[in-house]
Amino acid sequence: MKKILLAVVACFLLASSSYATNTDLFELNEEKINAEFVELNELEAYVSMHENVTIHNIYQENAGLIAGMNLAYGPEGMMGQSGFSMDTFEWGSFAWGFCCFPIGATIGIFTVLLNDNKGSDHKTSYLIGAGVGFLLSGGFGYYRFL
């Protein structure tokens, strides 16, 4: 009984001593915001002066203009790829997701999803395979009778 009372008192003390505040939740650093807008205005002026310029041209000719910005460009960035398609579909990763579902799904997770050497196409193909395996196995109805 003493242990339970001590645990309840300890929980009450911990709960009453911890609190969160929202004092700096809505604070703005206007200097930082203005500096970022200056960079954007410079980029806008450059693009308006040079018609038909692409981000690839800016990286080649005037990389300092966008050096401080967090732009994803290249084969791994969102601007450099057109998205997932059947041309980039990885059948091996699909097989890991489809054939190993539901019992060997953890093996597929370790070989595809948590593997840093696998790209986003591999991971998307694995998830599609696991989804197809889930649907073909009867979905939730399969697990109801286990």
Q: Please give the structure tokens belonging to residue 112.
A: 């595809």
More confident residue, 138 or 117: 117
For residue range 84-113, list pLDDT tens digits in order. 667 778 888 888 888 877 666 667 777 787
Angstrom distance (rounded) from CA 114 to CA 92: 15
102 preceded by a cis bond (ω within 30 of 0): yes
Is pTM beyond 0.95? Reply is: no
The DSSP call for residue 110 is: I
Contact 96, 111 (CB under 8 A): yes
Per-residue confidence (pLDDT) for residue 142, from 0 to 100: 52
Per-residue confidence (pLDDT) for residue 57, from 0 to 100: 81
For residue range 134-144, list pLDDT tens digits in order. 888 776 655 55
